[in-house]
Amino acid sequence: MAYDQNNIFAKILRGEIPCEKVFENEHVFAFNDISRKAPIHILIIPKGPYVSSADFYEKASADEIVSLNRAIGEIAKEKGIVESGYRVISNHAAHAHQEVPHYHVHLLGGADLGGCFN
């Protein structure tokens, strides 16, 4: 699938749609999810044009991959949820119901999230 420059997160990155920014560095941008599923629900995205996790894993540079993963850890620390716990989710394509075709990671925490597989 080709990257759609008009997807919602591309518009957020270009500042065309407002968001509640949480974090930014050279390669990564993060903001609150508009429809929170937990007290803390943050979307962490690469600035580069990657459609999905598979696209990111295949094409992103080592710097981008490290930067995104480090950002997850930094944001979790900054939000004070490292000890209490958090969940990281990334939906890829149809079976996972990925809605926005720009790779993103959901960081959820701030409450007991329940078991994922039971």
Q: Which residues form the interface with ligand 5GP (CB under 6 A)?
A: 8, 17, 19, 31-35, 43, 91, 97-100
Which residue lies nearer to ligand 5GP by CB, 8 or 65?
8
DSSP state of 94: G
User: Smallest gap, in angstroms, from Cβ of residue 113 to ligand 5GP?
Assistant: 14
Q: How far apart are CA 17 and CA 39, in angstroms?
A: 23
Q: Which two tokens stand for residue 99?
A: 């809605």
CA 118-105-11 angle, to 5 degrees, is: 140
* Run of H or E including 68: helix 62-78
Q: How far is the CB of 57 from ligand 5GP (least distance, A)?
A: 16
Q: Is the Cβ of residue 62 or residue 100 nearer to ligand 5GP in the bound state?
A: 100
104 has catalytic annotation: yes
Catalytic site residues? 104
